[in-house]
Amino acid sequence: MRLDVVGKNILRVDALSKVTGKALYPEDIYMENMLYGKTLRSKVPHAYIRVDTSKAERIDGVIKIFTHKDVPKNEYGVVLKDHEVFCSQKVRRIGDPIAFVVAKDLKTCHLALENIRVEYEEIEGVFDPIEAMKDDAPKVHGDSNIIYHFKIRKGDIKEGFKNSHVIVENTYKTHMVDHAFLQPESGVSFIDEEGRITVIVATQYPHYDREEIASALNMPEESVRVINANVGGAFGGREDISLQIHLALATKELNRPVKTVYSREESFIAHAKRHPMIMKYKTGADRDGKLLALEAEIIGDSGAYASWAMNVLRKSGVHASGPYEIPNVKVDSIAVYTNNPFTGAMRGFGATQVPIAYEQQMDILAEKLGLDPISIRLKNMFRKGSVTATGQVLTESVPLQECLERVVERMDFPRREEAY
């Protein structure tokens, strides 16, 4: 087989335009007759709202202020349609979109935002996912805050723990993380030469965006076009809708190009974060360090919207036992709504958080058994033919042992036996 790309250094096709400053990100596009749009966002995490735009509408240069009343189908979301394009009755997080001002320039947009009256009737919120799982917790959506519960049951953990020589039990917590891609969200919408509502945006999912815009605007997908410009970093943070529907709606109604650029602050409050997780782990091993049982409960804070919660928590669950073969496993991973910023995709998609727990457990087990951290891993790690916690038989290459051995060699990792 002739390989043209694999193993070779290939120059990026877009590198030239980027080193010369010619690469266009959506905010670099200026169109004739273009208007500017700005989003009004919730200042409180949980409240019923009443919105009065009349004063702002009278400001010279304000073209229109969009609210939920203007959206044909006021919902979207990558898996569950639990977001509203504009909140109609209640806000569920700080940063929830309430209205979209379109004006002749940015200064007028800002002035209009200050003149929209939002009456917040605050309601009790819930910010701790463990509290949120309780029956009497305030509800973010519907009548339960539990979005998803993934289970793995393999073998018999009771038996496994009974036969264990050591058992280590700990709870680990990770925090929320923002992608902080360098280019804040931006987009320009216009009507193209074939009459299609067109949105130029920096996105990870142009095809999904099109579906969501068409659905919210109640239009056939063929009448909507999404053009992906250069994307200034994303890392998962551009998987959910941000300004796409707002822009498309404005252009459809006003028949003019509209541009929106988020500030860094707005970017932070607008898009998803990495799920903070609370991971309760109980791991048992025999005298030689062979793993016998794992019981894990992983609770992921999804914030006010589900986004990819099911997919992320499923991935955490599947990866909960790490790259180790364990005969008896019980895993529960649960995604929960709270009134925190919503969480979604971010590099690793749920696989990033769990190693904090399972690797720490390995180190503690090793210490209790008087083993070094390398040998305990070598004793338990996946090899060709291993069966994972979900029952998958690994039949293809599993070069983990080779990898670890090379790392140990290059790091000159002191074996415990030698170090002490």
Partner 1 sequence: MVKIDLLVNGKKHSLEVEEDMRLIDLLREKLGLTGVKEGCSEGECGACTVIMDGEVVNSCLVMAFQAHESNIITIEGLDGEGSLHPLQQAFIDAGAVQCGYCTPGMILSAKALLDKNPNPTEEEIREGISGNLCRCTGYNKIVEAINRAKGV
Which residues bind to ligand FES, rule: CB under 6 A? 182, 233
CA dihedral of residues 12, 16, 20, 25 (deg, nearest 10)? -60
* 232 lies in the binding site for partner 1 (CB under 8 A): yes
Q: How far is the CB of 231 from ligand FES (least distance, A)?
A: 9
Token pair 């200064």 is found at 107
- Whether the CB-CB separation of 369 and 289 falls below 8 Å is answered with yes
Among 239, 241, 219, 270, smallest CA distance to 76 is for 241
Instruction: Give which of partner 1, ligand FES, none residue 23 binds (C-beta under 5 to 8 Å, depending on kind).
Output: partner 1
Instruction: Give which of ligand FES, partner 1, none residue 15 binds (C-beta under 5 to 8 Å, depending on kind).
Output: partner 1
Size of the site for partner 1 (CB under 8 A): 33
What tokens does 379 get? 């004793």
Please report, as residue ranges, which positions from 260 to 289 form the binding site for partner 1 (by CB under 8 A): 261, 263-264
**Which of 180, 385, 415, 417 touches partner 1 (CB under 8 A)?**
180
Give the Å distances, CA to CA, from 303 to 67, 148, 364: 23, 13, 32
Taking the C-alpha atoms of residue 245 and residue 81, their distance in angstroms, rounded to an integer, is 14
H/E segment holding residue 225:
strand 224-228
Instruction: Give which of ligand FES, partner 1, none residue 394 binds (C-beta under 5 to 8 Å, depending on kind).
Output: none
Q: How far is the CB of 185 from partner 1 (least distance, A)?
A: 12
What tokens does 319 get? 């990866």
* 350 lies in the binding site for partner 1 (CB under 8 A): no
Stretch in the footprint of partner 1 (CB under 8 A) among 11-19, 134-142, 203-211, 271-279:
11-19
- Whether the CB-CB separation of 168 and 364 falls below 8 Å is answered with yes
Q: How far is the CB of 321 from partner 1 (least distance, A)?
A: 30
Chain residue whose CB lies nearest ligand FES: 182
Please report, as residue ranges, which positions from 12 to 51 form the binding site for partner 1 (by CB under 8 A): 12, 14-25, 27-28, 30
- Whether the CB-CB separation of 249 and 67 falls below 8 Å is answered with no
User: Where does this chain bind partner 1 (CB under 8 A)?
Assistant: 9, 11-12, 14-25, 27-28, 30, 179-184, 230-235, 261, 263-264
